[in-house]
Chain A
């Protein structure tokens, strides 16, 4: 086959293609020049993990298949496009690709490729029709209907259809020894060859061939300005994903940071944040997953990411496509860094005009409304839902950091939470002297670490764990019962434990997630100092927020500990036969996964194992459970904010829980517990309803459910099968 003879004016084809490719790369380079004005964003390490992520998320596209129909549709277009690219490359390289592929195995490789390519092309066309149907007819709420989206779909269909038709006419006019393998173009070509005159075949072949090339060139020129750009950026975005534990917010140096605290403008974002923007396809899975959006609040994670992308594109308006063109000053590729490794403010001479204006525009109230910044519960449902691993939560916390640390601009009601954490080390504003009040009246002692240390080395060595009580369990009446239940379980299992008592402070999680890094670091460094004094083997806590912050974030400040959530600890005690429960009245349960336990830290099975150990308990899962759980509404410091916009998140989650028909909403987080209890009261199904004769549904912590029938494991206390103090709700 000789393209030069078959295609009129073929010599122009490679030229047109490569000019289009050059325009594509120049536009991409312009994106990168704005990236260069952003902050450095962590080292690219852990190559194997990154390659794994690239494979799982970009090649296998695992998250796309959570919505099976969308997954299949997307896979058809993706693989069709890959196969198509081989054909395109062959045409613009004068048949080189076919020649190379046909070389080994006597051309069998090419013959094998042909039917795959042909069938995938058909698949693409069907998928495009389905995609158009979704956008124009069935219209799932998460999809944005835009001209860009329709343009891209029609371009894809056009490229595929013209290629297939050009192939068919080529086979019809010139024949092909492998025509039998082209399962679509072959028979079609045969049919056309029989029904049309050679001159018509010549004409139509040239028409479709050139139409195909024109569309391919147009696609390349258009792509960098389209949300479809993810076909180029997703590979990088999935490979360059955040490598920290998901529950760890970016570290922040409050002492040497001379420039900006937190994120105010596009310039304060990292290049990975900008790459996130260019990887977003507006698919809306984040929007679908967002509890704030679901309850009618102004926060929409999708529009925030797209807004950041638009701001980044806006900044390019001052930058010419060709460096040096129009005599405009250029952006430097790398911003000079100061001694602390942070970029110095960009020199004014390099960021002039539109670029400077765009780079100086605050993100708040441009890409995201001010209220929406505070609506976020940092539950991470958006991050979990995103097929291309965009990180929404870190950006929102970055914006909060700037609002709090630089502008003191935040909802008025959290002032007292901030000052309480600063003054007395907990958001409730209770004195440290009340930290052990929850343990009053227990039938056994709850020793403090200081008391155990005073007993000497031997006593310290015997300690199995340090129970980190957390402020909620120490000061909130409802959660004090959870603390009592948990230590009852520890006591029943014969675990030697201690608590910090007055030496404990808030872990800092609420401060950090509300953007107050100053108060967070103050609390965290104090706690690290205390913990380092006692060097506990294992820290156990019933609070997923303390669990996440101590386990995943204290390392940034030099505190490295082994931390377990009480669900893990209890499930181990049960598995080891040290603890068993005959809480036979457990009945039907549904388990509400706390975000910071399941989504952020993969603790999904342990709490279910605890509930599963109860005789006769029946677990009824909600639709959204495990890593796809729906927030209770209290995360990200929302516990201390008024929920004045939209409907209440806890009411929505309670509704989902009640739908299961379970008698008990089990949970494993002090905030979730309070929110579910309030949600039940709101639904008229709460604790108080039981006395009225209506079906009373209760929210209880897994430790409470276990403790209501906890007995020492028979292996440990074979003779003494005593019933331990029962912790009843309502006392």
Chain B
């Protein structure tokens, strides 16, 4: 069983900034996208229980290596980093094309990814990639169980009344949620072992792409404006005897028709 985990490198949550042309500034410290880490954890658990081999795949600037190193320290066997200055400015569609090309050079039964990224947050890549590759698409998985022979995979998807069980033949693409479980914390031994693990770097040329096919000039969507959310207003703190305080809170909510 070979699993490729798509691991996006995003700006450290809370430090996101936009560049002057309204794109995510990726020059600062990058970290592994939280939503993807749940899938990495699920893949590593499968590696422990059924000997699956986990490969990481990312597209991003040089700083994305940090996120890959952490994934390797957690226990992934190898990593592929698609890096090329021309890629900057690509939109979701081009990202899907690049990922499809990279996956074309890898062997796998399963592709795992999170629902969306904490920076762009478009959420189109998982479904679009499955369509582009013609893979069965299992979304919002809360549990992932491949068949022992690796020929198929079952997932659970939570619904308002319980959960559905879905099954698809492999190769398949699984998008999962945080219900899969908290990602593990890498041990120092893992960190040291990760130093000697291989990170392959592929360029556009390696993937057979023309530079003109990617980047801002080729993107089919554009961000036209970006606004900061307004600062939060001052909070009202009520200090009183419990009964009187409850009365005031009820009045506050009632005048705003929130009760």
Contacts and interface: CB of A to CB of B under 8 A. Distances in A.
Given A424-B12, A424-B15, A431-B14, A419 B185 contact: yes
A423 B29 CA distance: 8
Given A415-B182, A691-B240, A692-B241, A432 B15 contact: yes
B178 to A, nearest CB: 13
Interface stretch (A31-39, A61-69, A145-153, A405-413): A405-413
Contacts of A405: 187-189
Nearest to B29: A423
Contact of A408 (B13, B187, B241): B187
Given A423-B29, A424-B15, A430-B14, A261 B240 contact: no
B31 interface: yes
B239 A423 contact: no
Interface of B is mostly: loop
Contacts of B241: 692
Nearest to B70: A422
Interface of A is mostly: helix
Nearest to A405: B188
A175 interface: no
B14 A407 contact: no
Interface string B191-204: 10000000000000
B59 to A, nearest CB: 21
Given A518-B191, A688-B239, A408 B12 contact: no
Contacts of B14: 424, 429-431
Contacts of A424: 12, 14-15
B15 A518 contact: no
B184 interface: yes
A691 B237 CA distance: 12
Contacts of A690: 239
B15 A433 contact: yes
A406 B239 contact: no
Q: Point out which of B14, B29, B184, B241 has the most chain A C-beta atoms below 10 A from its C-beta.
A: B14
A692 B31 contact: no
Nearest to B241: A692
Interface string A397-429: 000000011111010100100110001100001
A429 B186 CA distance: 18
A contact residues, range? 20 to 34
Interface in A595-619: none
A254 interface: yes
A410 B182 CA distance: 13
B12 to A, nearest CB: 5
A261 B187 CA distance: 10
Q: Point out which of B29, B185, B189 has the most chain A C-beta atoms below 10 A from its C-beta.
A: B185
A518 B185 CA distance: 12
B15 A408 contact: no
Interface in B168-187: 182, 184-187
Nearest to B244: A692
A517 B189 CA distance: 13
Given A406-B188, A406-B189, A412 B182 contact: yes
Contact of B184 (A408, A430, A691): A408
Contact of B186 (A408, A430, A431, A432): A408
Contacts of A254: 188
Nearest to A689: B239
Interface in B98-149: none
Contact of B12 (A404, A412, A423): A423
A518 B186 CA distance: 11
B196 to A, nearest CB: 14
Contacts of A404: 187-188
A517 B187 CA distance: 11
Contact of B188 (A261, A430, A431, A688): A261
Contacts of B15: 424, 431-433
A709 B184 CA distance: 50
Contacts of B240: 691-692
A428 to B, nearest CB: 10
Interface in B16-61: 29, 31
A407 to B, nearest CB: 7
A423 B31 contact: yes
Contacts of A691: 239-240
Interface in A663-704: 688, 690-692
Interface in A156-215: none
Interface string B70-107: 00000000000000000000000000000000000000
A415 B41 CA distance: 14
A367 to B, nearest CB: 23
Interface string B228-259: 00000000000111000000000000000000
B7 to A, nearest CB: 16
Contacts of A431: 12, 14-15
B64 to A, nearest CB: 15
B185 A418 contact: yes
Nearest to B190: A408
Contact of B189 (A261, A419, A423, A692): A261
A423 B182 CA distance: 17
B116 to A, nearest CB: 20
A529 to B, nearest CB: 16
Contacts of A430: 14
Interface string A224-264: 00000000000000000000000000000010000001000
Contacts of A261: 188-189
Nearest to A261: B188
Interface of B: 12-15, 29, 31, 182, 184-191, 239-241
Going nearest first, the 7 A-B pairs with the smallest beta carbon separation are A405-B188, A691-B239, A431-B14, A408-B187, A431-B15, A408-B185, A423-B12
14 contacts: A405-B188, A407-B187, A408-B185, A408-B187, A408-B190, A415-B185, A419-B185, A423-B29, A423-B31, A429-B14, A432-B15, A518-B188, A688-B239, A690-B239
Given A518-B191, A692-B239, 9 more contacts: A261-B188, A261-B189, A408-B185, A412-B182, A419-B185, A423-B13, A424-B14, A431-B14, A688-B239
